[in-house]
């Protein structure tokens, strides 16, 4: 039978399904352009084998382990390291069995589709994973991982990836990107400038990070001018390693456009650890506008990923640290929040600011109206909890009528789960084709137009939007 | 013809419809488990006949009378008692005729489905109710109500109810539950501990309620410890009458986890009627965490029903009192609001907290991400205005991808309209099967999985979630 | 082939489609009742030809030019006048070509449907507009506009418009409405009282507007009583020219019901330019309640259009002034905001208050629950960005279950693009029939009921709701 329905995610109505299939046939085999994500560049630099099935599919994937935790499985029993170095499960097969025994939890979730897609198309598995098949799965995948064809670079090629952007902090020396560049491998793996650790006063170790930022760039980090110059130098360095974009993960979309004297004074409060919560928030906001101005200088695309309330559980944060599946979206305002930045640079035609959201209520009310007016704005695809069939449908249904297709930028997989990349892009292509089929089937778009739009959404807009 | 389309609420597309029908066939006749609602236990204690059609279908059902009021009918003309004891319509036939003449207002609403379901399946009526058929309807129903088969206990059995939870205040002596227990009837009617009247400082008569609470429990209600002990005693008393859950209807989802000394001081402000609005809100929030801690002791499930702005019309409240259809949902935050309680007890595996909402925007943004992470959290079904075909569809579409099916707890009818119970559960079963059929028909779930999920959503999850 | 699919916007599923077609057949040719919009009454007073295709389709339509601006076209290059009188494009053919070359931007948007509907049904064009066909289009439309049959009055008749409401400010002398009344033409073009310029302290020129308001009415505008009387006189004057409604475009839905002495004192702050932002907001809120009270006296329907953050781009506002496509919706609260007004007049059966929103999250959570309870409230149709197939679907899906169809008032086109009026009403009729077909096809409504509802939504409710 197989794990994958060839018609999955297409409309059930036969007429619409035929249209969707036809559109999908035209984009299914286009190269993957992955302009934003969290793969580890070391994989491609070293090209050693992935250690085992659990470390490939379970330990790094917060979509997976959070669901198990929500049903009473301990993070430690899934091999997630404790902050205090305390004992956690070290047997990958035991972790795998726990995961397999809980596969039913993923029914109806995108994780099920992503996992099954990788199981079948990458590893050739066709029986459902569950407690009974756990060991056979483990053995099969583990054996495959030992083969040369399952090394990172080989999979990169097999996945037909044209470009893959990773995300590195401002202090990263990009050694793995250097190693890739210095190798004879031709795969295009580029970096992205993500300076949260030296921009967000609430980031762990912020003051030390600032020191390191100054040391790394040779700039006098005690002055506002020196601080901005340090960013300019790091942006240039990242551009050297292929970066075409910066990325900013802030709790809100707040921006500011203070007079430079005020901004400099604010920086002094921040730099000396004296900033109030409100000042910290204002500083993050000011820095978005500064980054946008630097983008006008150096051409980097500005990505804003706001609205996640990070590390919601104090207990999990204390026990396991960041990024453990307890980041929860919150209400996000864009209309007032972005106005200072947009008043400064929103009408610039040579600037691209890509907005993301975890608050779907803003699609129709705020984001599409903004992106349908300001030349500098584009909408990023559904993010995180919403990069799914239903999430993509809602995104298209609530943005397209107001800002069209051409103020959007195609798909981001945004993942650290390497084997899910083809699956995620496939879900996106199928979901967009399903939406287009609906428009064609209800007389809102001709089939010729839809064919063009499908190509644009899959390939052209992402390359243009990210200047790849 | 009949009032009911046998395929109602199934997808129109024939392939999906066939799947939905098949899934529904597997759950249609499962017993009704009703873990939360507002039926009057006196019905089952006394087992006397329902007085007349108007008192069965119109007077107690705020879904019904609010719609008529919105189109200019006076509450008094529908027999709703005035606070001042002033004259209201007393002729049930006149009330019934007014209702019947306005049946067209319910087109497209769940009330139409619930009413027609009861008319046809309980009373055998097949002509539409309207002004012309009003009298025939009245006479027919009234005659039926005189028959033994239409007494409350007989209907309870006919409806195939396995368990029915009512909701009583903390000061209730549970005399009707006692009478049921002391009778030879085997129907399982249990209570639920709803302490709002002694927890919410803004509740009518709060200070007097506290006095009564102390008197009833023999606890020294002037101390924080005594007050908490009073709750413990009442919870135990309610457990004696079958309660497996408490329920809390607060204006917001705010929680607090204050140090006990601060909580005690706050209680003194509250107890002496000196609390500000902010302190009242903080106290309600503190009590949710206290109740969660008591749940860890005694095993009661904690239900939170936040977000209703009660008694919105000052004029209606002055004229007719509470619960007259003028409770309006408002924006509700969960992410920040629940954090204190979740930091205290959210990772407990032996605790079940069931969250409800009247703010659908929180399904995907807040509730599913929270329930998909914290082991103690489960999502209650769509509530109140949203316990309908479209409401259930939106609930499943926006929560399933993030928290799956297994962090939800099946259906609540939450009704005081007894005859609507089978109808409401039927709507839920059909709507869930329609959703599952969509997943099957678009390759996201196998039919075998869907069959299992349909059973779980209808029967297993509600029993497990409520420990019934 | 033609530009229009005869089955556009109907469900794709053949069974549902047949039902929708049948329902649509019953309402397709009903007269257009347009109770709220922004057409220029001068067109019908003078009845001279429309100057050229660009001034008919591009320059006045912010839906159109904002999309082009969002993709880098300058407003000046589309002929939009600069505030400083600086040079802008004056060649209508050049403007038209720019527009035509960007038609692909409108794929999937209602503008595409509206434009193509006008091109085909009004001008008989059947080839798609693009860069290649731009000149042929221009020449064809320009030639048609020279014909008598394309004069405003002739089109009004051809469009089968039974009544068309325009919107004029409180200071308008209604000279064009007078000219229409004094002419021998029988078309019903009525005005609407829109007093924002003398009600909103933040309106440009507010203090001068107040002066003019006093001069125009002969009332002593320095007193609260005189100010209210001035409104009464202007309302009566507008009623003389057919007005059946007032309209209020406020940034929020805030209302107040202050004691008259406080209201008078607030007016003094406002009148003398001393009001704070909070006082200005309170004054707008107070005036909604005052207007509602006047409505009880004179029978005008009260429309509230809240929630637009006007003139979002400081740069565009400075360069081009108001209404240039940079009005962005924002979150809007109704539950607390409307309570003062509803406590004052919400239970009045002889009052009609029509609520609009740009915040779709309020449909199910706030607006439908309010309209489903208060006799004075009705819901206006989807507005602005949401008067589209998807917008109408979401409106019906999220309001109908709670407030039914009969607390809504049919469709508003709300347009200043005259040729789009038939298109917009057609979209509304098709979308409502599609929704009704869904209800019929899933057993929630009989076909007879749906036929009646389709008529009501298209014709009866708008005439009753607006007292036309």
Residues of C in contact with B326 (CB under 8 A): 373
Residues of B in contact with C407 (CB under 8 A): 70-71
Does A443 reach chain C within 8 Å, measured CB to CB?
Answer: yes
Give A49-150's CATH code, choosing from 1.20.1090.10, 3.20.20.70, 3.40.50.1010, 1.10.2020.10. Answer: 1.10.2020.10
Look at C309 and A335 and tell me if their CB atoms are within 8 Å.
yes
Minimum distance, in Å, between the CA of residue A130 and any CA atom of chain C: 37
* Mean pLDDT along residues B30-50: 98
Minimum distance, in Å, between the CA of residue B170 and any CA atom of chain C: 29
* DSSP-assigned letter for residue B458: I
- Enter the tokens of residue C165: 């409401």
* DSSP-assigned letter for residue B82: P
The span from the CA of A211 to the CA of A213, in Å, is: 5
Minimum distance, in Å, between the CA of residue C3 and any CA atom of chain B: 28
- Is the pLDDT at C433 greater than 70? The verdict is yes
Q: Return the C-alpha torsion angle A274, A278, A279, A284, nearest 10.
A: 120
Question: Distances in Å between the alpha carbon of A14 and those of A25, C12, C390?
Answer: 16, 9, 22
The span from the CA of C407 to the CA of A267, in Å, is: 55
Instruction: List the one residue out of A73, A149, A442 whose CA is nearest residue C434.
Output: A442
Query: Which residue in chain C has the smallest CA separation from B318?
Result: C343
Residue from A10, A334, A340, A374 to probe the interface with C (highest C Cβ count within 10 Å) = A374
* Mean pLDDT along residues A383-404: 97
Residue from C10, C255, C372 to probe the interface with B (highest B Cβ count within 10 Å) = C372
* Closest Cβ opposite residue C442 in set B8, B309, B329: B8
Q: How many CA atoms lie less than 13 Å away from A131 in the CB half-sphere?
A: 5
- Kindly list the partner chains of chain B, i.e. chains with 3 or more CB atom pairs below 8 Å: A, C
Look at A438 and C8 and tell me if their CB atoms are within 8 Å.
no
Q: With bands split at pLDDT 50, 70 and 90, how would you rate the model's confidence at A312? A: very high
* Mean pLDDT along residues B111-128: 98
Give the C window 384-423 contacts with B, CB below 8 Å. Answer: 397-398, 400-407
- Is the pLDDT at B315 greater than 90? The verdict is yes
Q: What DSSP line would sit under B339-396, residue for residue?
A: HHHHHHHTT-TT--EEE--S-TTHIIIIIHHHHTT-TTEEEPPP-GGG-SHHHHHHHH
Does B15 reach chain A within 8 Å, measured CB to CB?
Answer: yes
- Is the pLDDT at C62 greater than 70? The verdict is yes
Least confident interval from A221-230, A328-337, C56-65, C71-80: C56-65
Name the percent of chain B lying above pLDDT 90. 98
* Closest Cβ opposite residue B445 in set A66, A107, A361: A107
- Return the pLDDT at A1: 61
Strand partners, B248: B304
The span from the CA of B324 to the CA of B310, in Å, is: 10
Residues of B in contact with C13 (CB under 8 A): 12-13
Instruction: List the one residue out of A328, A331, A384 whose CA is nearest residue A362.
Output: A331
- Is the pLDDT at C242 greater than 70? The verdict is yes
* Closest Cβ opposite residue C443 in set B7, B13, B328: B7
Minimum distance, in Å, between the CA of residue A322 and any CA atom of chain B: 14
Residues of C in contact with B313 (CB under 8 A): 342-343, 346-347, 373-374
Give the B window 32-51 contacts with C, CB below 8 Å. Answer: none
- Return the pLDDT at B60: 84
Q: List where CATH 3.20.20.140 sits in chain C.
A: 14-48+152-465
* Mean pLDDT along residues C256-262: 98
* Mean pLDDT along residues A284-313: 97
Q: With bands split at pLDDT 50, 70 and 90, how would you rate the model's confidence at C421? A: very high
pLDDT digits (tens, 9 = 90+) for B418-437: 999 999 999 999 999 999 99
Look at A335 and C329 and tell me if their CB atoms are within 8 Å.
yes
C308-309 and A377-379 strand pairing: unpaired
The span from the CA of B396 to the CA of B104, in Å, is: 29
Look at A375 and C69 and tell me if their CB atoms are within 8 Å.
yes
* Closest Cβ opposite residue C390 in set A370, A375, A397: A397
- Is the pLDDT at B29 greater than 80? The verdict is yes
* Closest Cβ opposite residue A328 in set B366, B444, B453: B366
* Mean pLDDT along residues B69-85: 95
* Closest Cβ opposite residue C106 in set A366, A374, A404: A404
- Return the pLDDT at A323: 87
Residues of A in contact with C109 (CB under 8 A): 400-402, 404
Q: For chain B, what's the residue count?
A: 468
Residues of A in contact with C333 (CB under 8 A): none
Q: With bands split at pLDDT 50, 70 and 90, how would you rate the model's confidence at B1? A: low
Q: With bands split at pLDDT 50, 70 and 90, how would you rate the model's confidence at A220? A: very high
- Return the pLDDT at B92: 97
Give B14-49+159-465's CATH code, choosing from 3.30.1130.10, 3.20.20.140, 3.40.640.10, 3.50.50.60. Answer: 3.20.20.140
* Closest Cβ opposite residue B328 in set C369, C401, C406: C369
Q: List where CATH 3.20.20.140 sits in chain A.
A: 14-47+161-465
Look at C335 and B329 and tell me if their CB atoms are within 8 Å.
yes
For chains A and C, count residue pairs whose Cβ atoms are closer than 8 Å: 133
Does C361 reach chain A within 8 Å, measured CB to CB?
Answer: yes
Look at A404 and C7 and tell me if their CB atoms are within 8 Å.
no
* DSSP-assigned letter for residue C78: G
Residues of A in contact with C12 (CB under 8 A): 11, 13, 15-16, 438, 441-442
Name the percent of chain C lying above pLDDT 70. 100
Look at B389 and C397 and tell me if their CB atoms are within 8 Å.
no
pLDDT digits (tens, 9 = 90+) for A129-188: 999 999 999 999 999 999 999 999 999 999 999 999 999 999 999 999 999 999 999 999
Q: With bands split at pLDDT 50, 70 and 90, how would you rate the model's confidence at C442? A: very high
* Mean pLDDT along residues B25-48: 98
Query: Which residue in chain B has the smallest CA separation from C440?
Result: B8
* DSSP-assigned letter for residue A149: G
CATH number, domain C14-48+152-465 = 3.20.20.140
pLDDT digits (tens, 9 = 90+) for C358-417: 999 999 999 999 999 999 999 999 999 999 999 999 999 999 999 999 999 999 999 999
Q: List where CATH 3.20.20.140 sits in chain B.
A: 14-49+159-465
The span from the CA of B222 to the CA of A431, in Å, is: 61
- Kindly list the partner chains of chain A, i.e. chains with 3 or more CB atom pairs below 8 Å: B, C
Q: With bands split at pLDDT 50, 70 and 90, how would you rate the model's confidence at B128? A: very high
CATH number, domain A14-47+161-465 = 3.20.20.140
Q: List where CATH 1.10.2020.10 sits in chain B.
A: 50-150
Minimum distance, in Å, between the CA of residue B467 and any CA atom of chain A: 16
Look at B445 and A314 and tell me if their CB atoms are within 8 Å.
no
CATH 1.10.1040.10 assigned to B50-150:
no
- Enter the tokens of residue A289: 């506008």
Instruction: List the one residue out of C313, C291, C293 whose CA is nearest residue C303.
Output: C291
- Enter the tokens of residue B181: 């227990």
- Enter the tokens of residue A132: 């009974």
Residues of C in contact with B388 (CB under 8 A): 401
* Mean pLDDT along residues A412-427: 97
- Return the pLDDT at B42: 98
- Enter the tokens of residue B195: 């302490």
- Is the pLDDT at B300 greater than 90? The verdict is yes
Q: List where CATH 1.10.2020.10 sits in chain C.
A: 49-150
Q: What DSSP line would sit under A291-302, residue for residue?
A: HHHHHHHH-PEE
Does C331 reach chain A within 8 Å, measured CB to CB?
Answer: yes
Query: Which residue in chain C has the smallest CA separation from B325?
Result: C373
The span from the CA of C437 to the CA of C27, in Å, is: 14
Instruction: List the one residue out of A258, A287, A257, A273 whose CA is nearest residue A193.
Output: A287
Q: Backbone phi, then psi, for C353, in 5-degree steps?
A: -115, 120
- Is the pLDDT at C1 greater than 80? The verdict is no
Q: With bands split at pLDDT 50, 70 and 90, how would you rate the model's confidence at C60? A: confident
CB A217 within 8 Å of CB A229: yes
Does A309 reach chain B within 8 Å, measured CB to CB?
Answer: yes
Q: At what angle do helices A260-271 and A277-298 cross, to 10 degrees?
A: 120
Look at B441 and A12 and tell me if their CB atoms are within 8 Å.
yes
Sheet holding A32-34, edge to edge: A32-34, A161-165, A189-190
Does B365 reach chain C within 8 Å, measured CB to CB?
Answer: no
Instruction: List the one residue out of B291, B189, B292, B295 whose CA is nearest residue B242.
Output: B189
């Amino acid at each position: 039978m197989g794990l994958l329905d060839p018609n999955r995610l297409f409309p059930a109505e036969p007429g619409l399904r035929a249209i969707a299939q036809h559109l999908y046939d035209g984009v299914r085999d286009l190269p993957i352009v992955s302009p934003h994500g969290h793969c580890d560049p070391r994989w491609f630099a070293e090209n050693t084998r992935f250690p085992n099935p659990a470390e490939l599919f379970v330990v790094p994937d917060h979509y997976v382990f959070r669901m198990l935790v929500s049903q009473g499985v301990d993070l430690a029993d899934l091999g997630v390291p404790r902050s205090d170095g305390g004992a956690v499960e070290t047997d990958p097969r035991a972790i795998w069995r726990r995961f397999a025994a809980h596969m039913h939890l993923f029914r109806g979730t995108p994780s099920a589709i992503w996992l099954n897609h990788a199981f079948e198309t990458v590893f050739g598995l066709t029986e459902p994973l569950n407690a009974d098949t756990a060991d056979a799965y483990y053995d099969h995948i583990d054996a495959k991982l030992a083969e040369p064809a399952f090394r990172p670079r080989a999979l990169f090629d097999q996945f037909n990836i044209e470009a893959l952007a990773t995300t590195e902090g401002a202090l990263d020396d990009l050694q793995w990107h250097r190693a890739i560049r210095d190798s004879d491998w031709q795969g295009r793996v580029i970096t992205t400038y993500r300076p949260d650790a030296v921009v967000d006063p609430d980031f762990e170790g912020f003051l030390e990070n600032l020191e390191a930022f100054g040391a790394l760039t040779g700039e006098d980090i005690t002055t506002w001018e020196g601080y901005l110059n340090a960013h300019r130098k790091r942006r240039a360095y990242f551009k050297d390693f292929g970066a075409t974009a910066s990325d900013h993960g802030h709790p809100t979309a707040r921006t500011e456009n203070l007079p430079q004297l005020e901004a400099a004074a604010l920086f002094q409060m921040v730099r000396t650890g004296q900033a109030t919560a409100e000042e910290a928030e204002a500083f993050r906001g000011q820095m978005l506008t500064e980054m946008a101005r630097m983008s006008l200088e150096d051409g980097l695309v500005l990505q804003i990923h706001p609205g996640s309330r990070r590390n919601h559980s104090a207990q999990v944060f204390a026990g396991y640290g960041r990024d453990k599946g307890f980041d929860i979206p919150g209400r996000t305002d864009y209309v007032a929040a972005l106005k200072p930045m947009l008043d400064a640079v929103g009408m610039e035609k040579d600037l691209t600011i890509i907005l993301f959201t975890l608050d779907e209520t803003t699609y129709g009310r705020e984001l599409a109206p903004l992106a349908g007016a300001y030349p500098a704005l584009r909408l990023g695809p559904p993010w995180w909890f919403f990069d799914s069939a239903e999430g993509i449908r809602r995104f298209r249904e609530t943005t397209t009528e107001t800002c069209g297709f051409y103020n959007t930028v195609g798909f981001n997989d945004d993942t650290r789960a390497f084997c899910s990349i083809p699956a995620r892009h496939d879900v996106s292509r199928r979901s967009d084709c399903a939406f287009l089929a609906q428009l064609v089937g209800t007389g809102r778009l001709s089939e010729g137009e839809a064919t063009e739009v499908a190509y644009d959404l899959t390939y052209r807009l992402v390359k243009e939007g990210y200047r790849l």
